[in-house]
Amino acid sequence: MSTYDHDSIRAVQWTGTHLRLLDQRLLPHRCVHVDLDSALEAAAAIRDMVVRGAPAIGVAAAYAAVLAGRAAWRQAGPDWRRAMEPALQALADSRPTAVNLFWALERMRAVMQALPAEADPEPALLAAAQEIHEADVAGNRRMGDLGAALISPGQDVLTHCNAGSLATAGYGTALGVIRSAFAQGRIGHVYADETRPWLQGSRLTAWELVQDDIPVTLLCEGAAAGLMRQGRVGWVVVGADRIAANGDTANKVGTYGLAVLARHHGVRFMVVAPTSTIDADAANGAAIPIEQRGEEEVLELAGQRVAAEGAGAWNPAFDVTPAELIDAIVTEKGVVERPGEGGVTALLD
């Protein structure tokens, strides 16, 4: 069996003329694709979580820059760079924590700067976006194989949020490791946290794994400690939205708590993310901006209030796991074990 057999989902696509996104807000009950014609529409889709997951956001932003370049050329001709700026700024403002968004926009800006003013920017921007897209899938497959090699056969794993095909250009980061390890017979079962309040584990990760015939059992976050105590988990495998130079890692809120539980119970903890997620300018986790989302996401469920009237909510989208609680950070350029001892910036050389 190929390690890539369990890989059927693509959340971000370029149709030849438009950016097409799988609307993840509607999963698992409806599988609806949205075609976007403008960068401003793409920025709104990123902000509203039609597309989510740091690598997928980066790929979507790259294609959105193509749409911005097309519109700017039609509207302003040789003054297209200036005309693109409002759209690029809207993309940059859409989600503050996922560093891949800014990395992708910087890549696209570098392409823009290399073009003459009298040249239509769309072909060059499209080629760059497609390169980012293809490199992400290839990098995910390499990370999958590298991470799977760390897992001893016969162990089950636990994951949090969604770091799969839906969160990337394809195959996934954390779920890429799980896909590869399952195909190799190293794991037989996956436990997935529901991941409140957006239920990415329940709605997205479980859906992905069911689609690709990988056994999955859901649990609410509060059940993870008991599961670990029973010795039923060998590894926690998660993705990342930003990794600081010292290895501190921002991921979906609840990840830090899992890392504390894992250390207490002797369960190993793996972060899987491309090197584009590493922010060398952030010395440690304290420098990572944490997105605060609306309290209605906690107080309501499917638009229906479930909390007592008058109660408020604290709703950070992410938390930071200290590097000393992480056993391995897996990237497409290699694996850093015990990142707390030396950080991760050597991967950027």
pLDDT at 3: 57
Which residues of the chain carry a pLDDT beneath 50?
Answer: 1
pLDDT at 153: 95
Q: What is the pTM of this model?
A: 0.87
Active site residue 145: no
pLDDT in tens, 311-343: 999 999 999 999 999 999 999 999 999 999 999
pLDDT at 5: 64
pLDDT in tens, 227-275: 999 999 999 999 999 999 999 999 999 999 999 999 999 999 999 999 9
Task: Catalytic residue, from 241, 248, 279, 327: name it.
Answer: 241
Distance CA 177, CA 163 (A): 10
pLDDT at 134: 95
pLDDT at 4: 61
CB neighbours of residue 2 within 10 Å? 8
